[in-house]
Amino acid sequence: MMIIRKRLAAGLCALIACLSMGLSPVTAYADDEPDRDAEAAPKVELVLDVSGSMRARDIDGKSRMAAAKQAFNEVLDATPEDVELGIRTLGANYRGDDRKTGCKDTEQLYPVGPLDRRDAKTAVATLSPTGWTPIGPALLKAAGDLKGGEGSRRIVLISDGEDTCQPLDPCEVARDISAQGVDLTIDTLGLVPNTKMRKQLSCIAEATGGTYTSIQHTDELSDRVGQLVDRAADPVVKPVAVSGADSCSAAPELKPGLYADRAKFGEHRWYRVDVEPGQELRASVSVGADRAVNNDYGVLMRAVTKHHREIVRGSEAGDGRTDAISTGLRYPKPERDDEDGADDEDRTETVCLQVSHSYSATSATAFADAKSKPGLPVELAVDVVDAPDDASDAAAFGLGRGWWLLGALVLTGFVGGLLWGWLSRWRVAVWRTN
């Protein structure tokens, strides 16, 4: 009896496994992977604070400068071959008290390019904590160091204090770099648990979509810088810089792709997309808060005709729990029955996309601090595809290619339930017979 039960249980498991395998997704072949050799080399510049405060001995019993050097040596050894890396310093040369001179103290220690590990380590070994903390000027220079090429670009800033060269606010510098449409990310690492420094470094990172990390140990510094360098080598989709207009008639025409723009408080940005009969427009937008704003806000995207008739809209609201908010819309353009008699202008429809947000400064006096220029970062995704043939296709679109998995689960559950019920009834019958 026990043998029969085991065989039935094994048969049930095998049947379920076969059903699942029969409906498994097709594995992607290596030939489908992108050709990494054809991509432009990613670029990274490490920007190191070498100001006098880096002499402090509060990281694992050694100076901040010594911890930074050790971390740099470990990162240089592990840098991927396809990454072009450079090193820039701030506050490394001028020892005097003249603020104007000290705020110009930034230089490129090792040029951005193919990495010679021995030369780079030798250059780092010569550093000694010296002067001021011109973070803003160093970021401007670093952005220039990374110009050119098609690969990703990243600045990794390591500092132990606030910028000492105001009024050139490094946070505003980061916003200006982002507003210029430069595809560049700034990540910041703070070596001291200081509230003011954390606020400034966080603002710099957030303005460009980067990250801020507080560091207290040497191994944390090595690991984090290494992670950021490796991240630069990962392939990413880069948004194309675009400038929306204040009306549909003057709006730029967008093709399918990812775009980056800026929108001020209370501003409406317009874009245009051409849609053919039988095509579907899919668009989404994300607006981020890279500065202090009120807690309640929203984002709106409208699709309208050239004659200002609204076609469809998407909207979303937030309450301060996140610093970014997104929405989207879909518009399927019907096929024409009289295609042969229509000219090109009648067949193609220009859809105007209006993007607006309701972020606002925290108060009337804070408006100057929030600075409406540059506007908040906007990321716009646009795609035009063949519209679903019928309602069933449209419904299936919501599941994407995952409909097969739902069908597999339903079928497996149904067959498994039948077999289990039959097995249970058979066991009861056997038990009663015995």
Range of the domain at 59: 40-233
**Order of strands across the sheet that contains 279-288:** 240-241, 257-263, 376-386, 279-288, 324-332
Same domain, 224 and 184: yes
At 197, the pLDDT band (50, 70, 90 cuts) reads confident
What is residue 337's predicted lDDT score, i.e. its pLDDT?
59
What is residue 33's predicted lDDT score, i.e. its pLDDT?
42
Same domain, 69 and 197: yes
Q: How many independent structural domains does the chain possess?
A: 2
pLDDT at 165 over 90: no
Per-residue pLDDT averaged across 276-289, rounded?
A: 90
| Mode of pairing for the β-strands spanning 153-159 and 184-190 | parallel
What is residue 15's predicted lDDT score, i.e. its pLDDT?
42
What is residue 155's predicted lDDT score, i.e. its pLDDT?
95
Same domain, 328 and 386: yes
- Integer Cα distance of 431 and 434 in angstroms: 5
Same domain, 228 and 318: no
Give me the amino acid identity at 360: S
At 400, the pLDDT band (50, 70, 90 cuts) reads very low
Per-residue pLDDT averaged across 72-98, rounded?
A: 91
Same domain, 204 and 72: yes
| pTM (two decimals) | 0.59
Same domain, 113 and 160: yes
What is residue 183's predicted lDDT score, i.e. its pLDDT?
75
Nearest CA to 79 out of 223, 220, 230, 224 is that of 230
Same domain, 91 and 204: yes
**Is 137 domain-assigned?**
yes
* Token pair 């040369």 in the structure block, residue: 93
Same domain, 332 and 271: yes
For the segment 5-40, what is each residue's pLDDT rounded down to a tens digit?
Answer: 444 444 444 444 444 444 333 333 333 444 444 357
Nearest CA to 380 out of 276, 278, 251, 232 is that of 251
**Is 259 domain-assigned?**
yes
- Integer Cα distance of 78 and 68 in angstroms: 15
Per-residue pLDDT averaged across 353-360, rounded?
A: 93
Same domain, 290 and 373: yes
- The CATH number linked to 267 is 2.60.120.380
**Is 70 domain-assigned?**
yes
For the segment 120-146, what is each residue's pLDDT rounded down to a tens digit?
Answer: 999 999 999 988 899 999 999 999 999
- The CATH number linked to 175 is 3.40.50.410
Same domain, 327 and 184: no
- Integer Cα distance of 244 and 273 in angstroms: 12
pLDDT at 406 over 80: no
Same domain, 205 and 289: no
pLDDT at 396 over 60: no
